Structure formats: C-alpha cells, structure tokens
Structure 1
Amino acid sequence: MDAIAISRTGLDVEWRRMEIIALNLANMNSARAADGTGFQPLTLLSGPAGNFGTVLEGQHAPAGVRAYGVEPSGAGIRRVYEPGHPQADANGYVSYPNVSHAGEMALMVKTARAYEANLVALAAAQQIYSSALQIGKQA
C-alpha cells in the first residue's frame, strides 16, 4: 500500500470519528423516554488495518488504519432535577446521556489535528511522487 492510500485510510477514520463526536454532542441534552430508551453515547473503535507484528517483521507493507465499529461508550446516564419537564420521573428527575461536553470537545480538537496531519502526509506523498515523475522524465 502506498503512502497516499495509507493517508487516505487515516482521513476516513478521523472523518468517521468526527461524525460520532458530532452525534454525541447533538444528543447530549436528549431526554430519555420513561421506559429508559434513548440516545447512548457512542465511541469509534479503530486500529491498524493489518497485523502490525507482520509489518514490524517486514513480511507485509503497512496497510493503514480502519474503523472496526461503533459501540456505546458505556458512559451511562446523568440525572437532572427538573420536576416541570414532561419526561421527569416520579421524583422529578430527567435522565440524559452522560456526555462530557469538555471531553467531546477535546476529542474533537485531537481528531481535527490527526485529520490535518493526514492531509499534510497526503500532500507530501503527492509532492514526492510528482518529483519522482519529473526526475523520470529528465532521464
């Protein structure tokens, strides 16, 4: 796999992570229904696309990264005392997804930086390949 394809896999994973962060932030104030159903905060599981051990041993070329799936984060719920809310329970509490706004924003910045790093790597690879083609034309 070449450098452009590897950077592309990184871009795809970080874009998907950004979508999950946006979904979590958009639903952080969505109250749960009386039966307990509602939005569950999500997390993206990602990692190497191939076996990293074989890459280190020189048996295979790097294959980039991939998203393995999206799972509930297990953050639970947060209960807020709002007795006038239509979805409040008998004690006046409303259940919301336990999404940390600060945590999601920090992850968003980290994800944006990783995305930018992949863009820079992609541009560098394109420039190197273009230079190699120019050298090849001169020979």
Structure 2
Amino acid sequence: MGAFDSLRIANSSLGMHQTWLDSLANNISNANTVKSTDEEAFRSQMVVARARPGGGVEVAGIAEGDPEGRLVHSPDHPLADAEGYVRLPEVDMASQMSQLVMAQRGFQAAVQVTKNAQETYSSALTIGRA
C-alpha cells in the first residue's frame, strides 16, 4: 500500500457516505408526501455501493422504491379520490433512521482516518526536517 492510499480510500468512503446521507435525507423529508391515486408515489432512493478494484468504495447506482406506494383512506384530504383514498410512499422511518445512524458513523470513521493519515504524514515531514 502506497503512502497516500489510506487518504484515497478514506476519500472514496466520504463520497459514498455523503451520497448515502443525502438519499436518506431525501427519503425522510418526503416520507409524508401525499399524491392523488392517479399519480405515482414518491420513490425512495437506496444507494448501491461496490468495492473499487485496488481499494475503496464507490456508488454503483441509486435504486428507487416502488411507485405504487400505499393507499391511505383520508376522505378529508384535498387530493382524495372519489372513494377517499390518497397515495403515500412506502418509506419505513425506522429503517431510514437506522440507516442514517450507520451512514453517519461511516462518514465519521472516514473523517477520522483522514485526520490520522494527515497527522502521520505531517509527523513524517517534521522528522525529515530534523
């Protein structure tokens, strides 16, 4: 492993975790988005990650949830159909919050690796000057 490989790997992790955090934030903020029954529900986003050859991680793609969502009886809602139904997304808040904690921890770990590598390289430079 080269001198800057740990920084490269940590940087790839930061990018992937930031994308994951962004998609979770989008899902959570749209969990209660109401649509009429003739429209598609909000489609949640799921980050698909894969290992990079030689180390690191990258976003392979973004998978989207089911556009059917779930029908909820809410006859007083302005978007309700003739039978009183509206369409809500299939967003499991417990799962989203659990993933949010995992994504935050992964991001924090990558930041710590970056800080440690920078301190190590800085110390190595000071040793070389003495």
Place the TM-score, normalised by the shorter chain, in its bin.
0.7 to 0.9
Structure 1 distance, partners of 2:71, 2:41, is 13
Residue segments in structure 1 that go unaligned for 5+ positions in a row: 51-60
Aligned pair count? 127
- Name the residue aligned to 2:44: 41
Give the alignment's Cα RMSD to 1 decimal.
1.7
Instruction: Give TM-score scaled by structure 2 length.
Output: 0.88
Counterpart contact for 1:75–1:99, Cα < 8 Å: no
- Name the residue aligned to 1:137: 129
Counterpart contact for 1:42–1:72, Cα < 8 Å: yes
Letter in 2 for 1:3: S
- Name the residue aligned to 2:57: 65
Structure 2 distance, partners of 1:111, 1:76, is 27
Q: Does the alignment pair 1:79 with 2:82?
A: no
3-state DSSP of counterpart to 2:13: helix
- Name the residue aligned to 1:122: 114
3-state DSSP of counterpart to 2:116: helix
Structure 2 distance, partners of 1:72, 1:104, is 14
Structure 2 distance, partners of 1:75, 1:7, is 35
Q: Percent identity?
A: 31
- Name the residue aligned to 2:97: 105
Q: Does the alignment pair 1:10 with 2:13?
A: yes
Question: In the alignment, which of 19, 28, 32 is matched to residue 22 of structure 2?
Answer: 19
Residue segments in structure 2 that go unaligned for 5+ positions in a row: none
Once the two structures are superposed, residues 2-33 of structure 1 have per-residue CA deviations (whole angstroms, 9 ceiling, x without a partner) of: 11111111011111111100100111111123
Instruction: Give TM-score scaled by structure 1 length.
Output: 0.83
Counterpart contact for 2:70–2:88, Cα < 8 Å: yes
